[in-house]
Amino acid sequence: MMSHRFQINNNGDTAETLRDEFKAVMVAAEALSSALKNCTLNGRNYQTLSWPDGALSLDREDKEEMMRRTLSVKDWAFEGALRAMKQGEK
């Protein structure tokens, strides 16, 4: 997991601006996560392949990996928003 190293600069962004930017990333990642969940991999779409079980299994593994990556993006954005807000309290 990547960690954030930024320090809010008084001449640049505000805590609220950064929080909103990270929140937008979280919302987009949640939308992607929802779309991936709704992307059904049905066995019937693999029946005519010469190796249906293997192809379906590989596609499911790929989908699970994309779900994990999407969760990492959401976590990254949440941590960024939290860091921005903590710095804004000072």
Average pLDDT, integer, range 35-52: 93
* 3-state DSSP assignment of residue 1: coil
> Pick the residue with more confidence: 76 or 6?
76
CA 51/CA 72 separation, integer angstroms: 32
- pLDDT of residue 68 exceeding 90: yes
Burial 30-61 (b: 16+ CB within 10 A, else e): eebbeeeeeeeeeeeebeeeeeeeeebeeeee
Q: What is the pTM of this model?
A: 0.84
pLDDT of the residue at 6? 83
Name the burial class of residue 1, with classes exposed (0-12), middle (13-18) and buried (19+) by CB atoms within 10 angstroms of its CB.
exposed
pLDDT of the residue at 2? 65
CA 30/CA 73 separation, integer angstroms: 9
pLDDT of the residue at 90? 62
pLDDT of the residue at 88? 85
For the chain, percent of residues with pLDDT exceeding 70:
97
